[in-house]
A and B are shown apart, each in its own frame.
Chain A
C-alpha cells in the first residue's frame, strides 16, 4: 500500500486516482501508524513553504515521514512536497524543511528573467541528468506539468532532472530512496503516470 500523507494541504483526489488508474492501492491518510505501515510514501503539497512546513509539524506527521525515510521506505515528494524535503525554504521568511535533501528552496527570481512570468504554469520538457529508475520510461524532452514560483537549489549531487525556464530549474531530485518532483506527475498525462508507476514498482533506486 502507498500512503499519501494528508496534512491538510492540497488536493489529493487526483493523486489517489492516478495510483488507482495504474492498479496500485493508495490511501490518503493522516495517521502515523498507516504511514509507517505503508510500503511507500507520497508527500504532496501546494501553497507556501512556511505554512505547509508548519502544518506538517503541527500534525506530527513530519516525524512519521522522517521515520519512514529512515526505515528505507521509498518516499516521493511532489511539488511543494518536494521542496519540503530540502533543508530550508525562503518563501515569506526562512523556514526549516525536513532536511532529507541537501539544499535550499528559493524564489525563481532573479534566476528567471523578468520577461518570463512567475509562477511558471504549464508544460515544460525534462532534461534528464541521471539514468534514474524513476525515469526509466521517460525520454529526454518529455513534457510534464509545472506550477511553481520557487525551486530547489544548491542540490547538484541530488539533481535528477531540470527544466529550462529562462534558466535551468530543478525538476526532480533523488538521494537514496528519497525522491522529489517539482512538477505534478498526477497531472502530466501518460508521462506522469509512467513516473508514478516506476515509483510504485522499483525496488532498487540506485542509478
Chain B
C-alpha cells in the first residue's frame, strides 16, 4: 500500500535557510545542505525548498546550494519560488530538482503549466496555491499571499490539473500559522475532484494533526509543514510512529 508522505519545507534566502534552529548534531542550522540531510536521515519522504530570494545574486547562491543538496540527498526534491518561465524550470532541474512548484508565475501565465508538463512531464509540475476564504468563497492569492487575485480557488486548481499539473500543494492561509490543525473542509473540497495527489499545507501544530488529516481526509496524499519541524516542536519519526499506531501507512524511518 502506498504511504502517506511527510514533507518538511525549507525557506531559503540568499542560499541560507530562514528560521533555521538548532538540532543536536547540526553544526550550521542555516545550511540547506545540512538541514536537508538531517531531515532526510530522520524520515522525511521528500523535501521542498522555497527560494524567497529577491536578487539575482541570491538566486545564484540558491542554485549552488541546490546542487550540493542533490549531490548528497537521495529523496525527491521539489523546488519553488520565482518560477515564471520554462528557463526557470530548466535552471533548477539541471541542478538536481525532481519537481518544480509554480504559484504566482502560473497565475500570471497559466500556459506555463501546459508548456512545462509537455516538456518535462506532469510528474515534474507541482501547482501550489495559497487559498483563503473571502466572503464565503475560496480565493487564490498571489505573491506569497499578499495579493488577492479574486480568482475562485477550486476552478483554478481544476484548470491547473487540466493543463497538466501532476500534484497540488494546497496551502490554506486561514489555518497557516495558527497551529490548530490542517484546513480539513478546504482539503476535502479539493480532494473531492482532484485526480492528482494533494499535499496539505498550513496549520500543523502537533503530531496528532497529521493523524486527523489522513483520517478525516483519506484522499490527501501528504502533509507538509515548516516551522513545527524546524523548531523541533514535533519530529518526523514521532509523527510517523503516531500515524502507524493509528493504522495509517507510512514509510519506515531507516
Q: Interface residues, chain A, CB within 8 Å of chain B?
A: 11, 13-14, 17-18, 20-21, 46-47, 116-125, 142-143, 145-147, 164-165, 186-193
Known: A117-B195, A123-B3, A124-B3. A13 touches B95 (CB 8 A): yes
Number of A-B contacts (CB under 8 A): 83
- How many B residues touch A, CB cutoff 8 Å? 31
> Chain A residues near B80 (CB, 8 Å)?
none
Residue contact B197 to A190, C-beta cutoff 8 Å:
no
A121, A143, A188, A189: the one contacting B123 at CB < 8 Å is A121
A17, A143, A165, A193: the one contacting B251 at CB < 8 Å is A143
B11 is an interface residue with CB less than 8 A from chain A: no
Residue contact A14 to B96, C-beta cutoff 8 Å:
yes
> Chain B residues near A193 (CB, 8 Å)?
74
| Apart from A143-B251, A188-B74: 10 A-B pairs, beta carbons within 8 A | A116-B2, A119-B122, A120-B2, A121-B197, A142-B252, A142-B254, A165-B1, A187-B98, A189-B40, A189-B75
Bits for B62-81, please: 1 = Cβ < 8 Å to A, else 0. Answer: 00000000111011100000
CA distance A24 to B124 in the complex (A): 28
> Chain B residues near A119 (CB, 8 Å)?
122-123, 166
B9 is an interface residue with CB less than 8 A from chain A: no
* B121, B196, B197: most-surrounded residue (chain A CB, <10 A): B121
> Chain A residues near B230 (CB, 8 Å)?
none
CA distance A119 to B122 in the complex (A): 9
Known: A13-B94, A13-B96, A47-B121. A164 touches B1 (CB 8 A): yes
B221 is an interface residue with CB less than 8 A from chain A: yes
> Chain B residues near A143 (CB, 8 Å)?
3, 251-252
CA distance A11 to B3 in the complex (A): 24
Which residue of B is nearest A17, CB measured?
Answer: B71
Residue contact A21 to B74, C-beta cutoff 8 Å:
yes
Residue contact B196 to A117, C-beta cutoff 8 Å:
yes
Which residue of A is nearest B5, CB measured?
Answer: A122
B182 to chain A, nearest CB (A): 18
CA distance A116 to B219 in the complex (A): 9
B51 to chain A, nearest CB (A): 18
Which residue of B is nearest A115, CB measured?
Answer: B219
Residue contact B71 to A122, C-beta cutoff 8 Å:
no
Residue contact A123 to B72, C-beta cutoff 8 Å:
no
> Chain B residues near A20 (CB, 8 Å)?
71
Interface residues of B in 166-195 (CB under 8 A from A): 166-167, 195
Residue contact A122 to B254, C-beta cutoff 8 Å:
no
Residue contact A189 to B1, C-beta cutoff 8 Å:
no
> Chain A residues near B45 (CB, 8 Å)?
122-123
A202 to chain B, nearest CB (A): 20
Bits for B93-127, please: 1 = Cβ < 8 Å to A, else 0. Answer: 11110100000000000000000000001111000
B131 to chain A, nearest CB (A): 21
CA distance A21 to B76 in the complex (A): 16
Residue contact B251 to A187, C-beta cutoff 8 Å:
no
Residue contact B121 to A14, C-beta cutoff 8 Å:
no
CA distance A186 to B196 in the complex (A): 23
* B76, B96, B222: most-surrounded residue (chain A CB, <10 A): B76
B137 to chain A, nearest CB (A): 26
A-B contact pairs, 17 of them (CB 8 A): A13-B70, A13-B95, A14-B74, A17-B70, A17-B96, A21-B71, A21-B74, A46-B123, A47-B121, A116-B2, A119-B122, A121-B197, A122-B222, A123-B251, A145-B76, A164-B1, A191-B254
CA distance A46 to B76 in the complex (A): 14
> Chain A residues near B95 (CB, 8 Å)?
13
CA distance A18 to B74 in the complex (A): 7
A184 to chain B, nearest CB (A): 8
A62 to chain B, nearest CB (A): 21
A21, A121, A165, A190: the one contacting B166 at CB < 8 Å is A121
Residue contact B123 to A122, C-beta cutoff 8 Å:
no
CA distance A164 to B3 in the complex (A): 11
A165 to chain B, nearest CB (A): 6
CA distance A47 to B70 in the complex (A): 21
Residue contact B74 to A165, C-beta cutoff 8 Å:
no
B183 to chain A, nearest CB (A): 21
> Chain B residues near A186 (CB, 8 Å)?
74
CA distance A191 to B1 in the complex (A): 17
